[in-house]
């Protein structure tokens, strides 16, 4: 621990963002990197606790107190080596991880937690600047081949780990570019795609083979026999729909259709479908989560005249509730950078029907709802508030109400993969599916989650695949 009194002397410096009036006019990253000296100062706030709850809070088990200490002392290389040992894409988590670790930081009990995520980013960007993130191909190849299906963070971290162990890895991706939701879901104003390309370039030089436009089970010929093991990392992309009157009207889209199209356009790709553009439109985003927030940010950039985000559930508390104690990751109200840019947020609203004119959506009919606990089961029961029905005008509705499970495409059937009750791919504790030698990782296995969880899953699947190949 560099400075035992650091947390008493140095106050938290909150993340810095570009001014709203400026950033709303473009798609560039809203976040501003802070100075390296500020990061070192911030790292001195880490108390190097005897039991590092932050390390427990991070799904990857990042060595947080250790790299904070190294960074504070100016030993960036050692900090980088430790970070690189547990995290395959710290330049991504350092930017957009919800920082589960910071909610379990001991300093956070009665002060602001250490800015762990920004410290992680500072170390990573320093390492890239110094040229320490360079291709390190394995010295020897094992002669074993592994196919990874899907190039989101789960597939990529699995591929990177297996490649480091000397196996020959081919990543098959049905899209035109590598990255999964990092590429086509998350908007550029949260994650510019050159950050992703920089990492993929390193992995290519390390020997990972990437095949794009390869829809396994959907036209692309894939000979499973050519590989000694397969890892399915196909994500959880089947969107939850709202099967209510008027759903067929024009102007109602799933969030991923909307976000993907915008990301393609920004990167200069051609789009096949009709353009979904919020310009001068009254936009309603149904769903109060992070995906919905990304849609709010995009609608503002496209010049929407009005953006309203509605959510069925009650507004979460702004500080920890008693049943959500430290060091757990709490269910709190999240105000993202997109929310800071404008729009209105409403909670406890049920959408009853879409109302249209000439085949296109014009309004949505809603009602306020209340939640009460059932006396016998203690489960919350939703009821409509009498006399609270109302309508909101809208000519573009975005459905951001979550995802069900992975797409159960042909190859999963061919493999005779089994699914759990929620429709995710069922595996044993070693990530192996019901088909021998076929493993699964990421959202396809655990349901729609977070980047940090899927990176962990990819790495764990790789560890198990390596054991399988060695046996």
Ligand X SMILES: Cc1cc2nc3c(=O)[nH]c(=O)nc-3n(C[C@H](O)[C@H](O)[C@H](O)COP(=O)(O)OP(=O)(O)OC[C@H]3O[C@@H](n4cnc5c(N)ncnc54)[C@H](O)[C@@H]3O)c2cc1C
Q: Which does 150 bind (CB under 5 to 8 A by kind): ligand X, ligand SF4, none?
A: ligand X
What minimum distance in Å lies between the beta carbon of 224 and ligand X?
Answer: 13
> Which of these segments, 6-14, 15-23, 112-120, 312-320, binds ligand SF4 (CB under 6 A)?
112-120
Backbone angles phi, psi at 307, to 5 degrees: -130, 125
Residue 373: enclosing H or E segment and its boundaries? strand 360-373
Return the number of the residue (425 or 452) whose C-beta is nearest ligand SF4. Answer: 452
Burial 61-83 (b: 16+ CB within 10 A, else e): ebbbbbbbbbbbeeebeebbbbb
289 touching ligand X, by CB under 6 A:
no
* Rounded Cα gap, residues 407 and 18, in angstroms: 38
> Which of these segments, 99-107, 184-192, 241-249, 424-432, binds ligand X (CB under 6 A)?
184-192
Binder to ligand SF4 among 79, 97, 162, 181 (CB under 6 A)? 97
Binder to ligand X among 216, 262, 283, 349 (CB under 6 A)? 216
For residues 394-453, which are near ligand SF4 according to CB under 6 A?
452
Return the number of the residue (71 or 230) whose C-beta is nearest ligand SF4. Answer: 71
Q: Which does 234 bind (CB under 5 to 8 A by kind): ligand SF4, ligand X, none?
A: ligand X
> Which of these segments, 223-231, 288-296, 298-306, 413-421, binds ligand X (CB under 6 A)?
288-296
**And the tokens for 321?**
């509730």
What minimum distance in Å lies between the beta carbon of 144 and ligand X?
Answer: 21
Contacts of 427 (CB under 8 A, 6+ apart): 433, 439, 440, 445
Residue 6: enclosing H or E segment and its boundaries? helix 6-9
**And the tokens for 122?**
């500072």
What minimum distance in Å lies between the beta carbon of 99 and ligand SF4?
Answer: 4
Return the number of the residue (218 or 317) whose C-beta is nearest ligand X. Answer: 218
Q: What is the largest CA-CA distance in the chain?
A: 72
What minimum distance in Å lies between the beta carbon of 33 and ligand X?
Answer: 17
| Angle of helix 64-72 versus helix 116-130 axis, rounded to 10 | 60
133 touching ligand X, by CB under 6 A:
no
306, 397 in Cβ contact below 8 A? no
Return the number of the residue (116 or 276) whose C-beta is nearest ligand SF4. Answer: 116
Contacts of 208 (CB under 8 A, 6+ apart): 159, 160, 163, 169, 170, 171
**And the tokens for 247?**
């759903």
The residues binding ligand X (CB under 6 A) are 96-98, 149-155, 172-175, 180-182, 185-186, 190, 214-218, 233-235, 237, 259, 290-291, 294, 407, 409, 442-444, 448-452, 454
């Amino acid at each position: 621990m560099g400075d035992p009194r650091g947390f008493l002397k140095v106050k938290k410096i909150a993340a810095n963002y570009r001014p709203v009036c400026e950033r709303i006019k473009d798609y560039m990253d809203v976040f501003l990197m802070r100075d390296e000296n500020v990061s070192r100062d911030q790292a001195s706030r880490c108390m190097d606790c005897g039991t590092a709850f932050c390390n427990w809070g991070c799904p990857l088990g990042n060595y947080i107190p250790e790299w904070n200490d190294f960074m504070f002392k100016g030993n960036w290389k050692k900090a980088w080596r430790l970070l690189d040992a547990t995290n395959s894409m710290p330049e991504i988590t350092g930017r957009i991880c919800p920082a589960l670790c910071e909610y379990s930081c001991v300093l956070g009990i009665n002060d602001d937690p250490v800015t762990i995520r920004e410290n992680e980013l500072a170390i990573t960007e320093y390492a890239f600047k110094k040229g320490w993130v360079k291709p390190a191909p394995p010295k020897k190849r094992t002669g074993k081949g592994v196919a990874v299906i899907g190039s989101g963070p789960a597939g990529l971290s699995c591929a990177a780990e297996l490649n480091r162990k000397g196996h020959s890895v081919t990543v098959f991706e049905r899209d035109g570019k590598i990255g999964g939701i990092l590429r086509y879901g998350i908007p550029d104003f949260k994650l510019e795609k050159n950050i992703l390309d920089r990492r993929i370039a390193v992995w290519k030089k390390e020997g990972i083979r990437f095949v794009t436009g390869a829809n396994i089970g959907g036209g692309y010929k894939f000979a499973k026999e050519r590989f000694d093991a397969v890892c399915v990392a196909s994500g959880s992309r089947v969107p939850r729909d709202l099967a209510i009157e008027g759903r067929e009207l024009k102007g109602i889209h799933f969030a991923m259709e909307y976000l993907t199209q915008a990301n393609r356009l920004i990167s200069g790709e051609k789009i096949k479908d009709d353009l979904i553009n919020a310009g001068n439109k009254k936009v309603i985003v149904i769903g109060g989560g992070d995906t919905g927030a990304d849609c709010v940010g995009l609608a503002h950039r496209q010049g929407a005249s009005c953006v309203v985000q509605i959510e069925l559930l009650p507004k979460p508390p702004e500080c920890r509730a008693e049943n959500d104690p430290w060091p757990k990751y709490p269910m709190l109200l999240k105000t993202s950078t997109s929310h800071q840019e404008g729009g209105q947020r409403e909670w406890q609203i049920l959408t009853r029907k879409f109302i249209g004119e000439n085949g296109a959506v014009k309004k949505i009919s809603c009602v306020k709802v209340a939640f009460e606990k059932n006396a016998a089961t203690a489960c919350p029961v939703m009821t409509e508030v009498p006399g609270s029905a109302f309508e909101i005008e809208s000519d573009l509705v975005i459905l951001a109400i979550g995802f069900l499970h992975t797409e159960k495409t042909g190859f999963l059937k061919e493999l005779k993969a089994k699914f759990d009750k929620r429709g995710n791919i069922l595996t044993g504790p070693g990530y192996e599916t019901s088909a021998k030698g076929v493993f699964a990782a990421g959202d396809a296995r655990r349901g729609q989650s977070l980047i940090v969880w899927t990176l962990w899953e990819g790495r764990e699947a790789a560890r198990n695949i390596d054991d399988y190949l060695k046996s």
